[in-house]
Amino acid sequence: MRIVLIGVSHWHTPFYSEPVLAMPDATIVGVSDPDAARAAPLAEKARCPVFTDYREMCAQLKPDFAFALGRHRDMADEARFLIESRIPFAIEKPCALNAAEANDIARRARDAGAFAAVPLVLRYCPMIATIREVAAGESIQYLSFKFVGGMVDRYHQQKVEWVIDRSISGGGPLLNLGIHHVDLCRVLLGNAELAVTGAMMSNRAAGLTIEDHAIMLMEGGGASCMVETGYLYPAPNSVFDMHYSIRTERHYFAARDNSTLEIVTNDRQRSTREMKLTNVFFYPEFVRDTLRRVRDGRPPIADLADNAAAVALIEAAYKMSPISAEGVSDETSQIERLR
């Protein structure tokens, strides 16, 4: 397969490029980014040309598949172009700046019959199969996911400051990180209709126009759900303060680190299973599985409609608890202060 990558200055680019480079039956034939210098190292590694315009790249190279990244503000246009060009693709979540854009591209993909995958990669987490196996036939009553990532200075280090500018990113950690767990609630509850019942946003830590801490409450499918996330943890990239809790009728599942799931029965019998539990582990599997699916004519594990459903819930939470402008100084000066 002849593959191109769009918007490769995005910090997740290695999650896609490295698995493709290791595949014997796939080749990266082009990479693009508005900043050609940011794309050059990957182009050198893949021995392919650099483009500053992804449209020109696709017209010239006619790829079999595209991995689309870039700024959230630019992603909906990327998706529209790829749909119209009939190029199968995978696009980084949240795929858009807001729910209206996310719904628009989902509708366009559906109407065109496009293959449009979204890396809601926790769908590959063994925890899902474990809960379905151990608690077969039991309803889920309660889900809680806490997933707090590193502080905003990591986005300066990675030279993607747009992530902490609401006008370009659309939101903070709830949209960027929490979308995985909002989607996980939907998956575990069998795509039950969920409604946001409460939300709390704070920008106390960094004082920017994005939230740096968020708590979102939902209910539906007979369960209550909570997603908590933030840019607060003084830790390296891809290291998280994480706690998962899922209560079924006869079992309690808990994760307090990224590799161990505790299972406790109602009669207090405890066991543990070792498994991967955070999103970063599953991108290589997403890349390989997605390319197999498009080859075989099967749908992606998650698509633009799944993404749109999660973005709509997150947008409802933002509306319920908007970030106050009080105490927020000019965004530019705040960013400079954090460098």
Q: Where is 260: in which H helix or E strand?
A: strand 260-265
pLDDT tens for each residue of 213-248: 999 999 999 999 999 999 999 988 888 999 999 999
Beta bridge partners of 218: 196, 225
> Is 327 or 47 the better-scoring residue by pLDDT?
47
Taking 80 as the threshold, does the pLDDT of residue 79 lie above it? yes
Task: Note the pLDDT of residue 323.
Answer: 84
Q: What is the percentage of the chain residues whose pLDDT exceeds 70?
A: 95
> With 90 as the cut, is the pLDDT of residue 333 above it?
no
Dihedral over alpha carbons 36, 37, 41, 47 (to 10 degrees): 40
Q: Of 258, 242, 128, which is closest to residue 185 (Cα–Cα)?
A: 128
How many Å apart are CA 312 and CA 325, to the nearest integer? 23
Count Cβ neighbours within 10 Å for each residue of 152-162 and write b for 16 or more, e otherwise. bebbbeeebbb
- Domains 2-120+286-300 and 123-278+310-338 in one fold: no
Domain ranges of the chain: 2-120+286-300, 123-278+310-338
How distant, in Å, are the alpha carbons of 15, 238, 259 from that of 331?
Answer: 30, 25, 37
Q: Which CATH architecture has domain 2-120+286-300?
A: 3-Layer(aba) Sandwich (3.40)
pLDDT class for 109, splitting at 50, 70, 90?
very high
Cα 213 to Cα 222: distance, rounded to the nearest angstrom: 27
pLDDT tens digits, 277-319: 999 999 999 999 999 999 999 999 999 999 999 999 999 999 9
Yes or no: say if 15 and 283 are a contact pair by the CB < 8 Å rule.
yes
Q: Where does the pLDDT of residue 331 fall: very low under 50, low under 70, confident under 90, or very high at 90 and above?
A: very low
Pairing of strands 195-202, 241-248: unpaired
Residues near 157 by beta carbon (within 8 Å), at least 6 away in sequence: none
Question: Could you give the CA distance from residue 57 to residue 62 in angstroms, rounded to a whole number?
Answer: 8
112, amino acid identity: A
Helix/strand/coil (H/E/C) assignment for every residue in 16-85: HHHHHHCCCCCEEEEEECCCHHHHHHHHHHHCCCEECCHHHHHHHHCCCEEEECCCHHHHHHHHHHHHHC
Within 166-303, residue ranges assigned H as helices are 166-169, 173-176, 179-188, 283-296
Longest Cα separation, the chain: 64
Tokens of 319: 């509306």
CATH code that applies to domain 123-278+310-338? 3.30.360.10
Q: What is the pLDDT of residue 339?
A: 38
- Please, where are the H alpha helices in 138-266? 153-157, 166-169, 173-176, 179-188
